[in-house]
Structure 1
Amino acid sequence: MLQLFVVTACIQGGVIISQFLIAPFVEPAVVGVVRSLETIVALVVLAGSLGMQSIAIRDTAACAEPSAQQAVLRGVFVLVGITSAVVILGIFLAHEFVLTTAISSYVFVTCGLVLITNLLRVTTGYAQGAKVINEICFALMFATGAGVILTVALTRQYGIQGWMAARYITEAVCLAAVWWRLRGHVGPALQVFKVNRSELLATAGSGVTINASLFVRLLVDSLPILMLTALHVRTEEIGFFGLANLSLVLGLLPLAIIAQRAIPDLVELLDDAAALSAKFNSFIKSMLLVSSAMAAALVIAAGGWLLLIGGQYEMAAKYVVVLALSLPLKAVVLACGTMLVALRVFGLSLKVNIVEGILVLLVLYFGIPEFGGWAGVVAYVAGTVLSLTLLLSAVKIRIANLQGDGDDAGR
């Protein structure tokens, strides 16, 4: 768990922490542009992943032979390369013929991150599935730490251009460090012409379903930033909400790690409905305990900022206080989504995410002109409550059905 936490914190937390650290050195408007750009980059990176990080973890763990594990990595490398190329081409065409804004030009410059970041993520997923994650922990930790320092330095000196350059350098150095540590695994996997086409198509099919749900989930979470940008709210206000949203993402990081770790344990109990129900209840309690602690920490930190420091980021601290209270609700949503993955029910999460997205979009569209960033806060909380209601009901029904089937089989 500790090694998984370190790797996940490096892959996702490094980007988050660097955005917090640049705030004291640049204007809120720069923070707003960075948050808008980072939100769009996250979406296009996920679009280019085709769900291959989840596939890499699951399929690698299911293989006993090193050669079979390397075949899995070879397949995900090929699919990530193809999908990333398609996404990059789409960004190029959109930049040339459709969008001409400053943000679109920044996205075009950073589109190479789609390939580099996804190669890094699927490799770390492979390391988790092959149980060699300990081999990359320290190298990735040092590379990420250096990247955070570089990002702050270059952004302070050169603004948005410095931030973009630092993002490229950081991702490339992290990928090089991980590939060097796993060179015995990565080398054979780079022989892409040995890939099995039929297995590749089957893997791609699974990835499409997983990625669709993940993409819609990220899109829904990103809607407040995207709508604030689209409706031309002041970049300072986008920066305030963006920092508050980052605080929530940071609070969700431990929960995501616990959920990722829980999937194998839940899968092992699919044939025992009573044990599965007990495990799920225990999982929910753990998520609520951790999320409540994270929520309390965020409220205390934001309250301390308001009382002791204040300044131009007071509004961001106010947003954090309200958003933090939704963390326990978000924890239950995440736990239910994890349970559905264990049950191999992928489509339901996608549908719920779409319904939540419609609600969030309506709240933002009508609320932003009147309330600005507070509309984003209300939309986030309302969407979380809706997803909680739908997903928890669905999971309870499926567990009850499993228990009923088990009773029938026993009779």
Structure 2
Amino acid sequence: MLNRLISMFESSKLLQLIVITACIQGGVIISQFLITSWVDPSVVGVVRSLETIIALVVLAGSLGMQSIAIRDTAASHGTSRQSEVLRQVFLLVGIASGVVIAGIYVAHEFVLTSAISSYVFTTCGLVLLTNLLRVTTGFAQGAKAIREIYFVLMLVTGAGVILHVVLTKLYGIQGWMAARYLGEFFCLAAVWWKLRAHIFLALDFRQVNRRELITTAKSGVIVNASLFVRLLVDSLPVLMLTAYHVKTDEIGFFGIAILSLILGLLPLAIIAQRALPELVEVIHDKSELRERYHAFSKSMLKISSAVALLLIFFSCIWLVCVGGVYKQTAMYIIVLALTLPLKAMALACGTILVALRVFSLSLKTNIVEGLLVLLILYVGIPVLDAWAGVLGYVVGAVLSAVLLLIAVRVRLADL
């Protein structure tokens, strides 16, 4: 039975990609769900606030290199050329992460004095560790080397989830931060060891092509600006609730609801990552590109609708049959799950725009959405508390999906 299961994984690139994405993004999410049974909701609220900020600073230090690593590696042929792409990505991630870490230090020492800023400063090393891990797995996807890393990454991530729960139960937020460092380090070490032939070539920085490095950096800045604004918009509810000093247990209830939505988005992110190199392959065949995009969009819509129904179903069961301290969370999830198909369409549009190397449209859309959501939160939190976050999330999802669908339709018509 075990041999059959292993054989199935080795023959399915999609299953391998599911494991990779679940490990990179889902390990920490699952850990946050699991600690809810062992710690007070106020600790969960602090963890959610911290992880929201960590996600932003990690993305700021990525310079959009994960998407670049997937796209440029898939478009390159030969080990030498692919290692050159990885070398550029490593160098740019190192520089960007260094700048972000320096900025966090300055902010902590001279500007911010709150407890959460102290936690962010303590965990700022995750900016470099996490980004190195993400661009390496992005490279593996573009180079079609996922089968070399998926199994060991699955084992290390599983151990990391256990570590998060145990250390957080024993030491609270301090234990969570220690587990974050240990988990990211061991995942990175495992992936680098499995891809060491590529890694050693990529770490030879004497062979950097400065002109290509600058070109890659420019593309990365635009990609990252769009991704950063996107994440900032999604994080605004938790950030604003924290800024308004809403009770940490209330932030915890809302944060777990958002985590449920993020978990529901993981299958969609996996499909989008799988679709990106496939769209790039046919970028010069306009009819084939349109055909693949439409098939991709339909898959995203079907899967997002199914996931939304599952979230609503389980939340209703929890609300009616279980209740308890997280009853409010179930109510939030029922409403937020309705946005999943809209999020799926926005993600599909963003993926085709990256394949077409059109980055500014997503950025402009995200900025408009962010301003509207910020206004809703600013006016609504004093009156509605966490429900203002739900309202802002829903309105933002509707706006971005409509704007991006219109933009992509126009762009594809002009091909």
Which TM-score bucket, shorter chain as reference?
over 0.9
Give distance in 1, aligned partners of 2:128 and 2:39.
Answer: 29
In structure 2, the residue matched to 1:131 is 144
In the TM superposition, residue 184 of structure 1 has moved relative to its aligned partner by 1.2
Relative to structure 2, which stretch is displaced further, 127-136 or 348-357?
A: 127-136
Identify the match of residue 257 of structure 1 among 265, 270, 282: 270
Shift of 1:54: 1.2
Amino acid at match of 1:124: T
Q: Which residue among 373, 379, 384 is the counterpart of 1:366?
A: 379
Q: CA deviation at 1:329?
A: 1.3
Pairing partner for 1:211 from 224, 227, 239: 224
| 1:126/1:277 CA distance change after superposition, 3 Å | closer
Q: Report the equivalent of 1:233.
A: 246
Residue 44 of structure 2: aligned partner: 31
- Residue 8 of structure 2 corresponds to none
The farther-off stretch of 357-366 and 392-401 is 392-401
One-letter identity of the residue aligned with 2:223: I
Q: CA RMSD in A?
A: 1.2
Q: Per-residue CA shift, 1:77-134, capped at 9, x if unaligned?
A: 1111111111000000000000000000000000000001011111111111111111
1:283 equivalenced with 2:286 (yes/no): no
Give the superposition deviation at 1:276. 3.4
How far the C-alpha of 1:178 sits from its partner, in A, is 0.5
User: C-alpha displacement at 1:272, in angstroms?
Assistant: 4.4
1:390 Cα deviation (Å)? 0.8
Structure 1 letter corresponding to 2:295: S
Give the alignment's TM-score, normalised by structure 1.
0.96
Q: Distance in 2 between matches of 1:130 and 1:369?
A: 50
In the other structure, the counterpart of 2:84 is 71
Q: Which moved more, 1:298-307 or 1:145-154?
A: 298-307
Aligned length: 402
Contact kept in structure 1, 2:279 and 2:293, CA below 8 Å:
yes
**2:71 touches 2:277 (CA, 8 Å); kept in 1?**
no
Matching residue of 2:10: none
Select between 294-303 and 167-176 the one with higher mean Cα deviation. 294-303
- Taking the aligned partners of 1:272 and 1:115, their CA distance within structure 2 comes to 38
Q: Is the 8 A contact 2:142 2:277 kept in 1?
A: no
Q: What does 1:232-381 align with in structure 2 at a 5 Å threshold? A: 232-381=245-394
Tell whether the 8 Å contact from 2:31 to 2:165 is kept in structure 1 after alignment. Answer: yes
What residue ranges of structure 1 are gaps of 5+ in the alignment?
Answer: 403-411
1:46 lines up with 2:62 in the alignment: no
In the TM superposition, residue 173 of structure 1 has moved relative to its aligned partner by 0.4
* SS of alignment partner, residue 37 of structure 2: helix
Give the unaligned 5+ runs of structure 2.
1-13
Deviations 1:249-308 (CA, angstroms, capped at 9, x unpaired): 000010011112112333344444444333332222111110011001111111111122
Query: Aligned pair 1:83/2:107, yes or no?
Result: no
Q: Which residue of 2 aligns with 1:92?
A: 105
In the alignment, structure 1 residue 152 sits paired with structure 2 residue 174: no
Does the 8 Å contact 2:237/2:389 carry over to 1? yes
> Aligned letter for 1:144?
T
SS in structure 2 at match of 1:25: coil
SS at match of 2:44: helix
Q: Deviations over 1:203-248 (max 9, x none)?
A: 1111111111000000000000000000111101100000000000
| Paired residue secondary structure (2:257) | helix
